Each structure stands twice: as structure tokens, then as C-alpha cells.
Amino acid sequence: MVDVRRRVTRSAEDVVVDVVIYTVMALICFSMLYPFWNSVVLSFNDGSDAIAGGITFWPRQFSLENYAYVFRDPRLARAYGVTIFRTLLGTPLTIIVTSTFAFGLTKRNLIGRRYYMWAAVFTLYFGGGLIPFFLVVRGLGLLDTIWVYLFVIGGSAALLNVFHMIIFRSFFMSIPQSLEDSARIDGAGYYTIFYRIIVPVSTPVFATLTLFNAVNHWNAWFDGAIFITRSNLVPLQTLLRQILNSNAVDELMGELGGTAAEELARSAITTQTLSMATMVFATVPILLVYPFLQRFFVHGLLIGSLKE
């Protein structure tokens, strides 16, 4: 028997092409990773020194001052808690609402199906603006409460994300009807069908959109800025932005000192390095979560390639 799996011979051309491809890929990866690495490096660098420019792969004048400035704020722990709370609770909530809404819309015998779809898609194109949005949230009594992060349809971390809903719906519609029909024959109702058949089959989509929503919740700052006034319920990103802004005044104050002050330490904390430090501080946790969900993405890429 001829061994079919014999090694494919590689010509010189193959090798050259490989080298080129690898090089190009490496360069592209580097160009994406380097800016982030540079930001991390800058965040650990003394501020006044950083202004001179020229800092590339390693801090030139190591300093933890920028992080110290961030950590000084006692409200930080609470803000972190708020963000974790809204991410842990808000993400599943959004996923459940969005996916069930999408599932409902796949059923042709749903009354008003067209209307719901139209209403949802309409909001993708048109919005009322900030003031009407604010008035609705106020009318719902959500101002200054932690629930404003979870139960608002709008903004970056919406309870019903129309875009995701459309993705869910498309995917659900691609699931063979026969699966559902056989479950129906066995006496399953809609809930059972959804949770026991549809969801397990759609894991890639669920995982992907869960991550998207989690990231949205993690990064959201605008709702915290606008809807929270009196209570101490701002999320992490909002607080970090605030800290960054107020550094400008501190720089002015520090300027009042005398000559020796200048020589000793032109401020180690400048807006540039401080913003790097806040960015690293805010991004690292979500970066750490990402690898665990990595495997779902690979599967997710195979969406559409499954045939009956």
C-alpha cells in the first residue's frame, strides 16, 4: 500500500514565501503590541523625564509616583467594586434579555413581530439625544442608584443591545428547525426549548457576546458621569477620568514652590504619565480575563461552517 501521508516536499519558493509571511505577521503584531507596551513603560517612568521623549522599551527613570497618585484616592476601592458589580451582574442580565428577545423574534407566529423588530432597528439609526434619555432614566427613578447601570436600555452597556440581538437572531435562525420540532413533539414548551436546546448549541455566540458586553460594562464611564450625582456610585472609569482632570490643578499648585524644589523634583507626576498609569490600571483586569474566554473565539470563527 502506498503511504498517502508522505511528506509534501517544500521548494525554495515555499520557504521564501513562508519567511515573508512570518516577517510581515511579526511586524504587524509588533506594531499593535508596542504602543501598549510603551504606555506601560511610560506609566512606570518619572513624569518630567518622560516629557523629553525617547522612552521606548524600558523606563528610563523608574517611578511609582503615578500609581501612588492613583491609589491615594480612598474612593478607588469603591469604584472598583461598582464596576465589578455591574460587570458581573449586568453582563448576564444583558445576555439573557437580548437572547430571549432575539429568540422570540425568530418565531414567525409572534404577534407584532414586525413591529418589535422595526422598533429595535429604528433605535440603531435614530436616537433622542442626551436630554430625552436623561428624562427617561429620571422618570424611571434610576438616577443616583446602582440599578442605573443594569436596567437602562441605551448607552454603551445597554440592557438590550440591538446589534447583539440581531446577531443572536441570525444565529438562532440558522439552527435547524428539526431540533426544535423534535423537542416540541416530546412536549417541550418554549422555555425548555430555549434553555435546553438553543443555548447549548449556540455557545460560541453566547461566549463572544458575553465578552463584548463584559468589556462594555467594564469600560463604560459616561452613564456614571451623567446619572450619578450625589451618591458615591461612580464606576472605575469615571473616577479615573476625574483624577486625571484634577491633576491639572495640582500641577499649578506644585509650581508655587521655590528654586530648590525645582531641582529636587520637577513633578514626577505629569498628565502624560498619569494618564498612562490610569489606563494600565483600568485595562489590566479585563486583559487577565480574556485568555480564559479565548477558546470560545476559535470556535466562534467556525460559525456558519457547520452543516446539517
Selection from 109, 15, 50, 81 nearest residue 271 by Cα = 50
Smallest gap, in angstroms, from Cβ of residue 272 to other proteins?
6
Question: Binding other proteins by CB under 8 A: which of 146, 201, 215, 244?
Answer: 244
Is residue 107 near other proteins by the rule CB under 8 A?
no
Smallest gap, in angstroms, from Cβ of residue 171 to other proteins?
28
Q: With contact defined as beta carbons under 8 Å apart, do 238 and 212 qualify?
A: no
Q: With contact defined as beta carbons under 8 Å apart, do 95 and 209 qualify?
A: yes
Smallest gap, in angstroms, from Cβ of residue 152 to other proteins?
14
d(CA 18, CA 108): 51
C-alpha cell at 259: 528654586
> Binding segment for other proteins among 101-109, 154-162, 186-194, 249-257 (CB under 8 A)?
249-257
> Binding segment for other proteins among 20-28, 169-177, 219-227, 280-288 (CB under 8 A)?
219-227
| Residue closer to other proteins, measured from CB, 201 or 250 | 250
Distances (CA, A) of 288 to 76, 88, 205, 219, 285: 20, 15, 21, 15, 5
Is residue 139 near other proteins by the rule CB under 8 A?
yes
Smallest gap, in angstroms, from Cβ of residue 44 to other proteins?
16
| Residue closer to other proteins, measured from CB, 138 or 196 | 138
Smallest gap, in angstroms, from Cβ of residue 136 to other proteins?
7
Is residue 269 near other proteins by the rule CB under 8 A?
yes
- Contacts of 212 by beta carbon, 8 Å cutoff, 6+ apart: 164
> Binding segment for other proteins among 22-30, 46-54, 177-185, 200-208 (CB under 8 A)?
46-54
Is residue 35 near other proteins by the rule CB under 8 A?
no
CA angle 152, 154, 155 (to 5 degrees): 110
SS3 state at 122: helix
d(CA 185, CA 197): 14
d(CA 257, CA 35): 35
| Residue closer to other proteins, measured from CB, 36 or 118 | 118
> Binding segment for other proteins among 31-39, 47-55, 93-101, 167-175 (CB under 8 A)?
47-55
Binding mask 48-77 for other proteins (x = CB under 8 A): xx-xxx-----------x------xxxx--
d(CA 259, CA 302): 65
